[in-house]
Amino acid sequence: MYRIVSIPGDGIGPEVVAGALEVLGTVAKTHGLEYSVEEHPFGGASYDLHGEMLTEDTLEACRNCDAVLLGAVGGPKWENLPHEKKPEAALLRIRKELGLFANLRPAKVYDALVDASSLKDEVVRGTDFLVFRELTGGIYFGQPRGYDENRGWNTMVYERYEVERIARLAFEAARKRTGRVMSIDKANVLEVSQFWRNVVHEVHKEYQDVELSDMYVDNAAMQIVRNPKQFDVIVTGNLFGDILSDIAGMITGSLGMLPSASIGTKHALYEPIHGSAPDIAGRNIANPIATIASLAMMFEHSFRRTDIASEIYEAIENALASGIRTADIAKPGEKSVSTTDMTNTIVRHLGA
């Protein structure tokens, strides 16, 4: 029995999560799987109901399930709340409370979508790399932090164990891919980055079969759009990983294509990397692929069913190859389909 907590969240979150749950029901029926889905509010939806973005009930449900599927949180409605009450603060808290220290973000260009990228065909075709972003340390969590009318301050801190554990995951993943890790930092300026680099190289001694290289983050931002095929596995800190994985969205053509997995020792949460897109919420035009691919990552990493994950990825690829497009990946003037139409097409290809 797979116990899943569903957190639709805000904006387009409920629409794209509904698509992923439809796919879940299909593969469960095909493979004879037993599962349960328990829905809980989070973000603005929770604030409107309970006056807080993350309740203890939701947090406890996440602690007691096998995996969490999250849609998206936030929107203009809650932007003027105090900083500590905003949806983003709740996201940081749930990651910390569940110990989700590793954020995995694949950047894969489907052949059928090469022309959706703003980059040239020959640059992006065949791109397939994986970003390991450290998720519970760094400047997002460092103390002291704050601001007044004259000054704002944050602290970037990394402990040895935080760097060691994310580096090991990256090296392990590289062993199953093409055996290359790129560690990205700013060691020429930041002492904390020099520490990061030193520890990654120490861990590398345990993985001599894997090639390790270093790159400064500013160069990495350029190289990802200049020659993305040079990368296999990227490992980097919280802030840099946040920025670089969003840059990867331009390679794939849309943030609506990018899934993610946030993994800890005991818990895991899966979500698309896009936001809540309140401007298109309720219109049934959001791209559900990132959330459906996040479900595939759930089967891959939490349930250890790589066969089912592969089936979902293949169904996505076949749906795109059939020419169907949501608005975010359609060419100018090209007819686009709804969220439910894209979901139903992927489901049909799963059946096939």
Question: What is the predicted pLDDT for the residue at 255?
Answer: 80
In the residue annotation, 115 being an active-site residue is answered as no
Q: Where are the alpha helices (DSSP H) in 71-139?
A: 87-97, 121-124
Q: CATH classification of 118-245 is 3.40.50.970, yes or no?
A: no
Q: How far is CA 27 from the centre of its chain?
A: 22
Separation between Cα atoms, residue 137 and residue 100, nearest integer Å = 10
In tens digits, what is the pLDDT along the chain, a chain of 352 residues? 999 999 999 999 999 999 999 999 999 999 999 999 999 999 999 999 999 999 999 999 999 999 999 999 999 999 888 888 888 888 989 999 999 999 999 999 988 888 888 889 999 999 999 999 999 999 999 999 999 999 999 999 999 999 999 999 999 999 999 999 999 999 999 999 999 999 999 999 999 999 999 999 999 999 999 999 999 999 999 999 999 988 887 788 778 888 999 999 999 999 998 889 999 999 999 999 999 999 999 999 999 999 999 999 999 999 999 999 999 988 888 899 999 999 999 999 997 7
In the residue annotation, 218 being an active-site residue is answered as yes
Separation between Cα atoms, residue 266 and residue 85, nearest integer Å = 26
Q: Which of 110, 140, 158, 270 is an active site residue?
A: 140
Q: Which of 108, 185, 186, 313 is an active site residue?
A: 186
Pairing between β-strand 152-153 and β-strand 146-147 as defined by DSSP bridges: antiparallel
CB 38 within 8 A of CB 61: yes
Question: What is the predicted pLDDT for the residue at 213?
Answer: 98
In the residue annotation, 148 being an active-site residue is answered as no
Q: Which of 242, 270, 313, 328 is an active site residue?
A: 242
158 Cβ contact list (under 8 Å, min separation 6): 134, 137, 138, 192, 195, 196, 237
Domain ranges of the chain: 1-105+253-352, 118-245
Fold agreement between 1-105+253-352 and 118-245: yes
Please tell me the pTM assigned to this model. Answer: 0.90
Class at the top of the CATH hierarchy for domain 1-105+253-352: alpha beta
Separation between Cα atoms, residue 236 and residue 6, nearest integer Å = 29
DSSP 53-83: SS-HHHHHHHHTSSEEEEEE---GGGTTS-G
In the residue annotation, 121 being an active-site residue is answered as no
Separation between Cα atoms, residue 302 and residue 255, nearest integer Å = 23
Q: Which of 66, 128, 214, 246 is an active site residue?
A: 246
Question: What is the predicted pLDDT for the residue at 117?
Answer: 83
CA dihedral 87, 92, 97, 100 (to 10 degrees): 130
In the residue annotation, 242 being an active-site residue is answered as yes
Question: What is the predicted pLDDT for the residue at 115?
Answer: 83
Q: Which of 48, 218, 279, 307 is an active site residue?
A: 218
Q: Which two tokens stand for residue 114?
A: 């090469």
Q: Which two tokens stand for residue 19?
A: 């698509």
Nearest CA among 238, 234, 240, 190 for reference residue 214: 234
Separation between Cα atoms, residue 304 and residue 319, nearest integer Å = 24
DSSP 156-218: ----HHHHHHHHHHHHHHHHTTTSEEEEEE-TTT-HHHHHHHHHHHHHHTT-TTSEEEEEEHH
